[in-house]
């Protein structure tokens, strides 16, 4: 079966996600892990979240709690080269068409005990002119049931776009009374390191805390059909044609955006700390995982 096979495309259209086991080689994963370990070591000298490093609660030089590297593709060419790797491009073009563009990337580091990510749709953070947009998730570690794997509600990408606000501010998480039904309908996205998931921008997802003794590092790329242009969000409406084109992964950037009847709600207004999904979610009250976890411990 080719990596961009018809069965995989059909599964993605039906479920809103698909996982390709063993897509990347052990050598590739080893290189990505080595770079990640170097960033974790570097974070010992950093006291506050900045443009690249997102630090978690309790971070210190002795016990680094680096939660995220922001936009690793812009920091190290290894990460830009990876998203252009033929095996990844074959799947992405099968799912999105021949012209595709990288929107952003992030490396989520969920160490032992690392926090949950509350239920959300990526679309709430970065709506586009059409929803041919997905997240590529490169598993740098085995994603297992106990280390806080991505949880996805299959088929939810064709359903409603939910409110992600709390007390009138964008918090990047769905209210608990709505998300309470999601855990029972969700499936875990597990796989060996080197496996890669592809999830639709509107699919409902979240992930629990890491209850294992092993790290769970997930490298995420936000990728769009090139005719989908951002309306709002971190990488909002573009201002520089050359910069936009520099992120083309395959094909070319068309001059005509494709505008479809997609539901859009702006990720605004923002709370005081809007440095990442982690910071946003902590400031709101939409925290199903955190509240359930607190009851269990």
Ligand X SMILES: O=C(O)CCC(=O)C(=O)O
Out of 19, 171, 277, 288, the residue judged to bind ligand X by CB under 6 A: 277
Compute how many residues bind ligand X; rule: CB under 6 A: 10
Q: Which of residues 172-191 bind ligand X (CB under 6 A)?
A: none
Q: Which of residues 215-234 bind ligand X (CB under 6 A)?
A: 218, 220
Distance, CA of 54 to CA of 62 (rounded, Å): 17
Out of 80, 150, 219, 225, the residue judged to bind ligand X by CB under 6 A: 150
Distance, CA of 222 to CA of 127 (rounded, Å): 12
Three-state DSSP at 149 gives: coil
Closest distance to ligand X from the beta carbon of 116 (Å): 8
Nearer to ligand X, 262 or 277 (CB): 277
Out of 36, 207, 210, 283, the residue judged to bind ligand X by CB under 6 A: 207
Distance, CA of 107 to CA of 37 (rounded, Å): 12
Nearer to ligand X, 8 or 205 (CB): 205
Report if residue 201 touches ligand X, rule: CB under 6 A: no
Residue whose beta carbon is closest to ligand X? 207
Q: Which of residues 51-110 bind ligand X (CB under 6 A)?
A: 106, 108
- Strand runs labelled E in the chain: 17-20, 53-55, 66-70, 100-110, 117-120, 133-139, 150-152, 165-166, 169-170, 187-189, 196-200, 205-207, 216-225, 248-250
Nearer to ligand X, 99 or 287 (CB): 287
Distance, CA of 216 to CA of 198 (rounded, Å): 17
60 to 64, 204, 237, 283: CA distances (angstroms): 5, 33, 36, 22
> Strands 100-110, 169-170: parallel, antiparallel or unpaired by DSSP?
unpaired
- Closest to 102 measured CA to CA, from 245, 233, 205, 200: 245
Out of 205, 209, 247, 287, the residue judged to bind ligand X by CB under 6 A: 205
Query: What residue ranges bind ligand X (CB under 6 A)?
Result: 106, 108, 117, 122, 150, 205, 207, 218, 220, 277
């Amino acid at each position: 079966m080719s990596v961009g096979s018809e069965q995989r495309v059909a599964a993605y259209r039906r479920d809103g996600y698909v996982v390709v086991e063993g897509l990347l080689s052990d050598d590739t994963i080893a290189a990505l892990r080595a770079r990640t370990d170097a960033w974790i070591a570097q974070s010992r000298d950093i006291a506050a979240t900045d443009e690249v490093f997102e630090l978690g609660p309790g971070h210190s030089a002795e016990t680094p709690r680096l939660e995220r590297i922001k936009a690793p593709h812009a920091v190290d060419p290894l990460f830009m080269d990876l998203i252009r790797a033929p095996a990844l491009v074959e799947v992405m073009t099968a799912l999105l068409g021949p012209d595709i563009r990288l929107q952003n990337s992030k490396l989520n580091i969920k160490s032992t005990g690392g926090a949950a990510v509350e239920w959300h749709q990526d679309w709430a953070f970065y709506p586009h002119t059409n929803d041919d947009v997905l997240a590529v998730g490169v598993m740098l570690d085995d994603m297992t049931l106990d280390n806080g794997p991505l949880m996805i509600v299959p088929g939810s990408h064709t359903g409603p776009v939910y409110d992600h606000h709390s007390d009138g501010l964008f918090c990047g998480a769905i209210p608990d009374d709505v998300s309470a039904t999601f855990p029972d309908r969700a499936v875990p996205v597990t796989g060996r390191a080197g496996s890669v998931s592809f999830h639709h921008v509107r699919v409902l997802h979240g992930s629990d805390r890491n209850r294992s003794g092993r790290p769970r590092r997930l490298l995420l790329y936000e990728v769009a059909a090139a005719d989908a242009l951002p309306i709002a969000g971190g990488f909002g409406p573009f201002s520089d044609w050359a910069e936009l084109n520099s992120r083309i992964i395959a094909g070319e950037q068309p001059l005509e955006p494709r505008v479809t009847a997609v539901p859009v709600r702006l990720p605004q207004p923002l709370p005081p700390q809007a440095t990442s999904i982690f910071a946003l979610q902590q400031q709101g009250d939409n925290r199903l995982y955190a509240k359930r976890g607190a009851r269990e411990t």
